[in-house]
Structure 1
Amino acid sequence: MSHELRPEFHGDIDSMRQSIAHLGSGVVELIPRVTDILLNQDLDGAERVIVGDDEFDAESLDTEERALKLLALQAPVASDLRQVAAALKLAPEIERSADLCCNICKAARRIYPHDLSPALRGTIQKLSDQAQSEYRAAIEAYLAVDDARAAALPDMDDHLDELHRQFVQQIFEIHAGEQLELQVAVQLAMVARFYERLGDHAVNIADKVRYIATGWMPEHDSAARHHARLAESGGGGPGDR
């Protein structure tokens, strides 16, 4: 039906989208905050972020429940259906991103009171800046339903993956020179992984944006390759068994 015939329904969809955007913007703001906590050894700040994660959990759950209600009661179709289906994936995706920020705070508490070298601090800042840049781009693409911008996220994430690799190598080299305790080295390696995973979540959000805009999903390409290989080999699909 048209927007004119279902104004309340489309108002609910707009409200659901704003909730997703609010959750995502919260993570965009949280990434530099937890980085400052880590670099400045701010234990009080770490505790506030960890306690505050309950708010993310509650808002994510509320958004999922609203999407399920729309799906069950309004029978959306076409682009409206894609919006609701994407929201069911996006809310927990963003909630897990907030969990990663909490994990950085927990690592900060475990690293305390060890000082980090300027080189390590510099790379941590680069990881944080790149993760935030990707996440902001993903949320902006979601708000604009911008397929082109969403499609650029994997290329952006390649840079974060390279920073992650460099940082882990840096950690091992400093530890090998007996300038970094093993426990601290392990925690820093985990921190690097948390930033890298934030980038992965941004890419996943971008994939959902592309699905909303065009109906495309990465799984479609994988399935097409699989069916092409089956056709080349003369094999059958599941229905032929």
Structure 2
Amino acid sequence: MENQHISSRYDKDLDKLKQRILDMGKQVITQLAEATEALDEFDASEVDRLVAFDRTINGMHQDIYTRSERLIALRQPMALDLRQALSPINIAGELERIGDHAKSTAKRARKLEGHEAGGPARDKIREMSGLVQVMLTDALRAYAESDIALAEDIRARDRQIDQINKDIFAMQIATISEAPQDAETHVHLIVLARGFERVGDHVVNIARHVHQIVTGIDLKATS
């Protein structure tokens, strides 16, 4: 009975950690969406709020890390249980980095404010942002439901993000030669696209963590 009681408490602790990850993920998705909106509808106070909110994301990351560390130390889990206890640390780290990108996007909105050049690239950046937000939503669902088929689909979708990033880079380099007076704006757009490409990579890493939780196979180590 004692072992059963310990196991039940362990499962409850894991469920609480999983819920904290899902809550953090929702906050990060909102942060990404609002930072992208700031690129088109600049509001200095809103940008300040988004930048400051990154501290909340960092705090959630630290809380998840501390709770996971304590759970592992107290319960000393084995195999699958250990993977489940470690995964919040890994996934929270990826979410924290995505939050950093949302903060950087909001900051870059300040530099783009008042500059209208690069309309087609801006459209593609909005497209990238929407795609990675959907990918992250699905990655969190894959984590919640231990769905490795969905995790694999997310990894495949990342190729589209990579291609859009390449398209934006080529487009902006060509445009700089035609309109050098707007070169700074075009460079900002290249950096933004590269940032969203990195967000896609972080989402893929979350999908890989889901695969490892369920199967025990580290796809990075085997690729």
Which TM bucket (shorter chain)? over 0.9
User: Does residue 84 of the first structure (1) align with residue 98 of the second (2)?
Assistant: no
Q: Which amino acid aligns with 2:77?
A: P
Q: Distance in 2 between matches of 1:209 and 1:131?
A: 17
**Amino acid in structure 2 at the alignment position of 1:130:** L
Could you give the per-residue CA deviations for residues 37-96 of structure 1, whole angstroms, max 9, x where no partner exists? 012223222111001111000111010000000111111123211111111211111111
What is the root-mean-square deviation in Å for CA atoms of aligned residues?
1.7
Instruction: Determine the structure 1 residue equivalent to 2:170.
Output: 169
Amino acid at match of 2:39: L
1:92-111 alignment to 2 at 5 Å?
92-111=93-112
Q: How does 1:144-155 map to 2 (within 5 A)?
A: 144-155=145-156
Q: 1:56 to 1:3 in 2, by over 3 A?
A: farther
Q: Report the CA distance between 1:132 and its aligned residue.
A: 1.0
2:139 counterpart residue number: 138
2:24–2:60 Cα contact (<8 Å) kept = yes
Once the two structures are TM-superposed, the CA of residue 219 in structure 1 deviates from its matched residue by 3.7
Distance 1:128 1:47 in 2: 20
Which letter does structure 1 place at the counterpart of 2:101?
A: L
Q: Distance in 2 between matches of 1:89 and 1:5?
A: 25
1:213 aligns with 2:214: yes
Q: Which residue of 2 aligns with 1:126?
A: 127
CA–CA distance in structure 2, aligned partners of residues 118 and 110 of structure 1: 16
d(CA) in 1 for partners of 2:22, 2:132: 17
In the aligned structure 2, how far is the partner of 1:82 from the partner of 1:160? 29
The answer as to whether partners of 1:3 and 1:10 remain within 8 angstroms in 2 is no
In the TM superposition, residue 173 of structure 1 has moved relative to its aligned partner by: 2.0
What is the number of residues matched between the two proteins? 222
What SS does the aligned partner of 1:152 have? helix
Structure 1 counterpart of 2:37, which letter?
D
Q: TM-score, normalised by structure 2?
A: 0.93
Q: CA deviation at 1:209?
A: 0.3
Identical pairs, percent: 27
CA contact (8 A) 1:79 1:212 kept: yes
Closer, same or farther in 2 for the Cα pair 1:141/1:205, shift >3 Å? same
CA deviations over 1:168-213 (Å, ceiling 9, x no partner): 1121222221165222122111101111011000000000000111
- Residues 22 and 45 (structure 1 numbering): CA distance in 2 closer, same or farther, change over 3 Å? same
Aligned-partner SS, 1:169? helix
Q: Please, which runs of 5 or more residues in structure 2 have no aligned partner?
A: none
Gaps in structure 1 of 5+ consecutive residues:
223-241
Q: Residues 66 and 106 from structure 1, CA distance in 2 versus in 1: closer, same or farther, beyond 3 angstroms? A: same
More helix by share: 2
Q: Which residue of 1 aligns with 2:200?
A: 199
Structure ID, larger Rg: 1
The residue number in structure 2 matching 1:11 is 12
Counterpart of 1:126, as a letter, is E
What's the CA shift for 1:5? Answer: 4.5
Q: TM-score, normalised by structure 1?
A: 0.87
> In 2, are the aligned partners of 1:20 and 1:87 still within 8 Å (CA)?
yes
Q: Distance in 2 between matches of 1:141 and 1:116?
A: 39
Counterpart of 2:113 in structure 1 is 112
